[in-house]
A and B are shown apart, each in its own frame.
Chain A
Amino acid sequence: MFPLQVTNLGRTPWTGLDQLIRSVPILPFQRKPADVRTTDAQARTRSFDAEALPYMDDLFRMALRMTRDRARAEDAVQEAYLQAWKSFDRFESGTNGRAWLYKVLFNCVHHQRRKWLRFPSAGDSEEVLETLAASPLPVADKLSDAQVLEALDQIPDDYRAVVLLVDVEEFAYKDASEVLGVPIGTVMSRLSRGRKALRAKLEETARSYGILKGERKEGSS
């Protein structure tokens, strides 16, 4: 490739174009009103820390369930804060700062996965969703936390993400759609299938630990 060079070739000598200028309708240039926080570095730092850092544990919890690895989750959360800081202007202008942080986090997790190809992912196979029992038995109460999470971890990434955002992080559908960058209809269908898949996996997990015995419910396969 050529060495990169972008040059503005400068201004040419000017004679009035008043008439042309007047003939063109001009909209006022939209710009953000000056914001004190964007001009004072220290106040800006304080403002970011106060708005963003309280979500640290929430973000870690989400990252942990998406990566299933504490070290990677921690790394993803640190990266997310770094990226959020770098584009704090957008964070400020957003209506939902928490959703924005999760959005950045998902990008970090996604990027991390691309970087480490050996990153185990349940996301590529939707097989799990195709063998759903019609009405899995409600067994969650019989399982330990670790067993519940073991079942959750087997749900494909896209579905697991929606279930976590809505069920654990308690985002409204609209915010979950914002976080993941998918339409609300997609959120709803993934949520519905993800929840069903989770219940099927919970039942399967219960069986594998001998907690649930006997015949499968009618309609299951």
Chain B
Amino acid sequence: MSNHVLPMLDRFMDGELPPRDLAGVAKHLADCPECRAEHDAAVQTRARLRQAARSFLPPANLRSGIESRLDAERKSKPRIWLPLAIAASVLAALGLNEAWQTDYLRLTPETQTAYVETVSRSLTPVMRVGFADHLHCTIFGKNFAQRFDLQEILKSLGLRNAQLYPALAKHIPEGYQVIEGHKCEVQGRRYLHLVARKGDHFISLLFTRRGSGEAFERDLRSVANETGIPLYASGAKRFQLAGFETSGFLVFLVSDLSADRNLSMLSTMSAELAGVADKLEL
């Protein structure tokens, strides 16, 4: 019998086959003993497995165990719900697995630092400079205004740095919005920091003063040079970093976009950013 339908049997028996294929498979099953035997054996096995897996005795104290853990959590931390909403988005931003490892809701400064160290391990020292602020300020810091307010963003960014806002706003992928701009400090280092957000995804644009001898090219080869500005890129976990240097600044773009997208976004902005770098105030 030609045109056996074995590859479609799983979808057929699970009701996942598109309607247009249904009749054909059914007809073939009626005509072909081989395929029918396979189908019947599979259906029989599924039913038997379902029955066996459901024949368990739930622990008598399952419910009370769950409830007592929920109670303890609910009592120990009377929550204000807005921070919880932010915490939930941090959980999502990290990805459940990673957030889990850091026990995200009880992140002490020490565990945050340990986490940053772990995920930064693959990065060069200069890349870590940008990554540290993205993690501490954007992901852990929740340093965002509660409400989007462009006046406030430009105010906290500083008048002389205000042009960074349109430079970023023009180039963020669809669905993102610049939600924050400020100066911040992590581990004694100051940054100009803009954050764009789309749901649980964040993009950081960061400027920080170059320390003496600090240069991407010391440990990395540039991956792009289309605008005459050598660009450098690295990845750490699900984060992508791209950066370049001007005479006075290290510039970073950190996101969880794809490596290509993150790099090409910085590439598009690089000339404009390099052009204003001299006038920035930090």
Contacts and interface: CB of A to CB of B under 8 A. Distances in A.
Interface of A: 1-12, 14-15, 17, 20-21, 23-27, 29-30, 32, 38-39, 41, 44-45, 49, 53, 56-57, 60-61, 64-65, 70, 74, 77-78, 81-83, 85-90, 103-104, 107, 110-111, 135-138, 140-141, 143, 145-146, 148-149, 152, 163-164, 166-168, 172-173, 188, 191-192, 195, 198-199, 202
Given A41-B78, A61-B53, A87 B156 contact: no
B183 interface: yes
Contact of B53 (A14, A56, A168): A168
Interface size class of B (residues with CB under 8 A): 35 or more
Contact of A12 (B14, B70, B158): B158
B62 A6 contact: no
B275 interface: no
B151 to A, nearest CB: 7
Nearest to A3: B109
A61 B14 contact: no
Given A3-B109, A61-B54, A140-B48, 16 more contacts: A2-B187, A6-B140, A6-B184, A11-B152, A24-B150, A61-B53, A70-B59, A78-B65, A81-B69, A83-B100, A88-B88, A111-B97, A135-B38, A136-B41, A143-B48, A168-B49
B56 A7 contact: no
B49 A140 contact: yes
B53 A77 contact: no
Interface in B39-71: 40-42, 44-46, 48-56, 58-59, 62-63, 65-66, 69-70
Nearest to B182: A8
A57 B62 contact: yes
Tell me the interface secondary structure of chain A in the complex: helix
Interface string B70-105: 100110001101001101100110001100110001
A6 B85 contact: no
19 contacts: A1-B187, A5-B185, A7-B185, A20-B163, A20-B165, A24-B166, A41-B81, A45-B74, A61-B54, A82-B70, A86-B91, A88-B88, A145-B51, A148-B49, A166-B14, A167-B50, A172-B16, A195-B10, A202-B45
Contacts of A167: 46, 49-50
B27 to A, nearest CB: 22
A56 B62 contact: yes
Nearest to B11: A188
A141 B44 contact: yes
Nearest to A184: B16
Interface of B: 10-11, 14, 16, 37-38, 40-42, 44-46, 48-56, 58-59, 62-63, 65-66, 69-70, 73-74, 78-79, 81, 84-85, 87-88, 91-92, 96-97, 100-101, 105, 109-110, 112-113, 117, 136-137, 140-141, 143, 147-148, 150-152, 154-156, 158-159, 162-163, 165-166, 169, 177, 179, 182-188, 190
Nearest to A2: B187
Nearest to B109: A4
A144 B39 CA distance: 22
Contacts of A136: 41
Given A20-B162, A164-B53, A12 B148 contact: no
Contacts of B183: 8-9
Contact of A86 (B55, B73, B158): B73
Contacts of B87: 86-87
